[in-house]
Amino acid sequence: MNIQYILELAGTCFFAVSGALVATRKSEQDWFGVTFIGFITAIGGGSLRDMLLGSYPLAWVENVYFLYAIFAGILMTRLFYRQIMKRSKERFIFDTLGIALFTILGTEKALDLGVNPVIAAIMGMLSAIMGGVIRDVLTNEIPVLFRKEVYASACLAGAALYLCLDYFDADKNYNYFFSASLIFGIRYAAVKFNLSLPKFKVRPVDS
């Protein structure tokens, strides 16, 4: 069992927790509803990436342990729900851990399939964010991608660092750690200090 596989299972579990928390916060959902939202959050981005890259079967179809990781995340959410919800400022950590891990793993998988590094970075970003976008649409939230907080750009920064370190043949484990840490650090700082990218403003056109 290599580090990449362990990180992918961990990221899947974190995303499942993130999805379950959003589902329970929106309304009184039953077990199926919460599990479905957690499932979509966990597999949505990776499935989209694999379909765009023509990589079949999809990871969760080929390996049932990804489903076990999702179920573990749902169960963990149920068991520790009160403790998690009491720490309102820290709830986003599960989503942040998920995007940090999935960005790097998605970028690496795209590289392994022979795509251009720029495309690999975009695929890494899509792996990380699209599950959350689908989650937000299904729960009637403004997708996090369109909110003012830093999100997708943090993923691109981490993917760029991964590509740079990979180009210089850095140790894979160190590369995973530093690149994922950059994403986590940017996202955490953005939420903690209310940071955002400059707004896209244009002057109104005179009629």
Does the bond joining 198 to the residue before it have cis omega, within 30 degrees of 0? no
Contacts with 8 (C-beta within 8 Å, 6 or more apart), sequence order: 59, 66, 101, 102, 105
Region 24-51 average pLDDT: 90
Predicted TM-score (pTM) of this structure = 0.88
Q: How many CA atoms lie within 13 A of 83 on its CB side?
A: 5
Angle, vertex CA 152, rays to CA 64 and CA 129, nearest 5: 25
> What is the model's pLDDT at position 142?
86
Residues in the chain, overall count: 207
Q: Is the dihedral of CA 75, 62, 9, 184 positive or negative?
A: negative
Per-residue model confidence as pLDDT tens digits over 65-84: 999 999 999 999 999 888 87
Give the pLDDT confidence score for residue 88 in this predicted structure. 58
Mean of pLDDT over the chain: 89
Taking only the tens place, the pLDDT of each residue in 40-70 is 999 999 999 999 999 999 989 999 999 999 9
> Tokens 């940090």, residue?
100
